[in-house]
Amino acid sequence: MDFSRKLNAAVERNNSLVCVGLDPDPKRMPEGISVAYFNRAIVDATSDLVCAYKPNLAFYEALGREGQEALRQTLRHIPADVPVIADAKRSDIGNTAAAYARAIFEDLGFDACTVNPYLGGDSVEPFASYRDRGVFILCRTSNPGAADFQDLRCRHGGKSLPLYQIVALRAAEWNTHGNIGLVVGATYPGELGIIRKQHPDMLFLIPGVGAQGGDAAQVVRQGASVEGRGIIINSSRQVLYASQGKDFDTAARTAAEALRDEINRHLSALPA
């Protein structure tokens, strides 16, 4: 099953647009448990509440061999009918990008990947050529320094536009297989609304709800498509570290369920 169909099936089955970011930080985890155990417990507690999981590869790479093995164990444990997005932000010249894509999609078996478009279309194409996998292009990121480059105004089609809008336009041009989406941060709801109006049918991966300060109500109002879909709302720390005690998994479930229900309330309030 390709990424899009797997995602849509998970959304319908779990009535959820929540993605849980599996970004384990041993300093915040309960003492005496491994990353692999922690992730397994989080997945077991939340897999019926989410539409996807999103491990950030940096957290595993930072732990060396133990982290790499924990990532593989985590990927094996996630139910096959829940899509998994590699938050890898990969990019390079064509042949190196192709190697990154093979590693992400073939070796590790991820369903989708985040990609940095700074090197241009030929750096994105090796990822997008996997037609059954999703590609999320960094567009308007959630971090405070996003404006350093993403707000710079550039000439495009005879107009002066901020760079993030040009990135979205390019992504739409590259989306010949229908498997490209955009990363748009919850911390910039105004920009999120602008991009949605310009690209009504693209899928958005939206980080920044919870610990980074993004507001779920704003995300739904500004980012959801006219069908009330088109968004994957990621939460990492808010769910993973809802408790740092022995009840961390049940607390994570409570947090994920609360976020899912909050999102659904806002969806139901959208105009018909």
In a domain, 20, yes or no: yes
Question: Does 136 score more than 90 pLDDT?
Answer: yes
Structural domain includes residue 272: no
Q: Looking at residue 8, what is its pLDDT?
A: 97
Q: Across the chain, what does the average pLDDT equal? A: 95
Beta bridge partners of 154: 161
Containing domain of residue 106, as a range?
Answer: 3-267
- Pick the catalytic residue from 6, 27, 54, 89: 89
Residue 204 falls inside a structural domain: yes
pLDDT (tens digit, 9 = 90+) per residue, 89-132? 999 998 999 999 999 999 999 999 999 999 999 999 999 999 99
Query: 75 near 106, Cβ under 8 Å?
Result: no
Is the per-residue pLDDT at 213 higher than 90? no
78 falls within a domain = yes
Residue-wise pLDDT tens digits, 258-271:
999 999 999 999 98
Whole-number pLDDT of residue 209: 87
Q: Is residue 225 part of a domain?
A: yes
Cα 245 to chain centroid, rounded: 27
Q: Is residue 138 part of a domain?
A: yes
On the question of pLDDT at 226 being above 90, the answer is no
Which tens digits make up the pLDDT trace of 155-212? 988 899 999 999 999 999 999 999 999 999 999 999 999 999 999 999 999 998 876 7
pTM: 0.96
Domain annotation covers residue 228 = yes
User: Hey, what amino acid is at 32?
Assistant: G
Q: What is the DSSP string of 102-151?
A: IIIIIIS--SEEEE--TT-HHHHHHHHT-TTSEEEEEEE-SSGGGHHHHT
Q: Is 151 inside a domain boundary?
A: yes
Beta-bridge partner residues of 56? 87
In total, how many domains does the chain have? Answer: 1
- CA dist 153 and 211 (Å) reads 30
User: Does the annotation mark 197 as catalytic?
Assistant: no
C-alpha pair distances (Å), 195 with each of 7, 11, 208 = 22, 22, 17
| CATH number of residue 127's parent domain | 3.20.20.70
